[in-house]
Amino acid sequence: MTRPESPVLQAVDLQKHFKLRGSRSRGVVHAVDDVDLELHRGRVLALVGESGSGKSTIARLLAQLMPATGGRILLHGEDATARGRTAFRRYVGRVQMIFQDPFGSLNPVHTVRYTLTRSIRIHRGRRRGAVLEEALDELLDRVQLTPSARYIDKFPHELSGGQRQRVAIARALAADPEVLLADEPISMLDVSIRLGILNLLQDLRDRLQLAILYITHDIASARYFADRTMVMYAGRIVESGDSESVTQDPKHPYTQLLVRSAPDPDDLEARAHGARGEAPSLVNPPSGCRFNPRCPFATELCRIEVPPLIPVGEGREAACWGYSDRPDRPELGSAVEAFARKGERE
Identify the pLDDT of residue 299. Answer: 84
Question: What is the model's pLDDT at position 125?
Answer: 82
For 34-48, what is the mean pLDDT? 96
CB-based contact 263:255 (threshold 8 Å): no
pLDDT score recorded for residue 260: 82
As a whole number, mean pLDDT of residues 249-268 equals 74
| pLDDT surpassing 90 at residue 205 | yes
Q: Note the pLDDT of residue 251.
A: 93
**Nearest CA among 310, 291, 298 for reference residue 336:** 298
Q: How far apart are CA 284 and CA 298, in angstroms?
A: 19
Mean pLDDT of 214-236: 94
Closest by CA to 230, choosing from 98, 100, 76, 43, is 43
Residues in a beta bridge with 211: 179
Q: Is the pLDDT of residue 268 over 50?
A: no
> Which is more confidently placed, 46 or 257?
46
DSSP classification of residue 1? -
CA distances in angstroms from 76 to 10, 12, 295, listed in the order given: 8, 13, 38
In this predicted model, which residue has the larger pLDDT, 334 or 196?
196
Identify the pLDDT of residue 83: 87
Where in the chain are the domains?
107-174, 247-345
Determine the average pLDDT of the residues in 159-175: 95
92 phi and psi, to 5 degrees? Answer: -70, -15
pLDDT above 70 for 344:
no
Residue 208, pLDDT above cutoff 70 = yes
Quote the CA–CA distance of 76 and 59 in Å, as a whole number.
Answer: 18
Percent of the chain at pLDDT exceeding 70 = 87
Average the pLDDT over 64-77 and give the result: 95
